[in-house]
Amino acid sequence: MLSFLFIVLFYRESFEHSKQKIDWWGAVTLVLAIVALMFALQLGGKHYAWGSTFIIGLFAAFVVFLVMFLYIETKAADPIISFSMFKDRLFITSCAAALLIGVAYILQPLRTFLFLYRVCLEVQRQMQV
């Protein structure tokens, strides 16, 4: 409640609006790359074999569109992703820490599942003796 009061009293919005440029080619290639990757991961193993030409083609399309996106972004005036951010050591360290935390959140339930699976196997083995 106190923070809402501070916002109402002290926040002044800037009404200076400038026309933003949209990097359409970068947006299109990024969307196409992500769609190709998502289709490959969704359809692979269920509807098509992982080694099928369709799935391999989708992965190839992902790589091609990703390379196109990276090339377009290096040449764009207003890129979607500014690669100059990756020159900052603090930014890279923060991204690496966030990645490690994300991996830990994903692996923790797997660790719990494997522990319970081992316990169940041990109980089943002792019941057979």
**pLDDT over 90 percentage in the chain:** 57
What the block records as the tokens of 64 is: 């091609």
Q: Which residues have a Cβ under 8 Å from the Cβ of 81 and sit 6 or more positions away?
A: 73
Residue found under tokens 């992703």:
81
Instruction: Read off the pTM.
Output: 0.65
The predicted pLDDT at position 34 comes to 98
The reply to whether 73 and 31 lie within a common domain is yes
The reply to whether 30 and 76 lie within a common domain is yes
Domain hosting 113: range is 88-129
Question: Which is nearest to 24 in space by CA: 79, 91, 86?
Answer: 79
- 79-108 average pLDDT score: 92
The reply to whether 71 and 122 lie within a common domain is no
Tens of pLDDT, residues 57-82 = 999 999 999 999 999 999 988 888 88
What the block records as the tokens of 70 is: 């990276």
Contact 68, 74 (CB under 8 A): no
Number of structural domains, the chain?
2
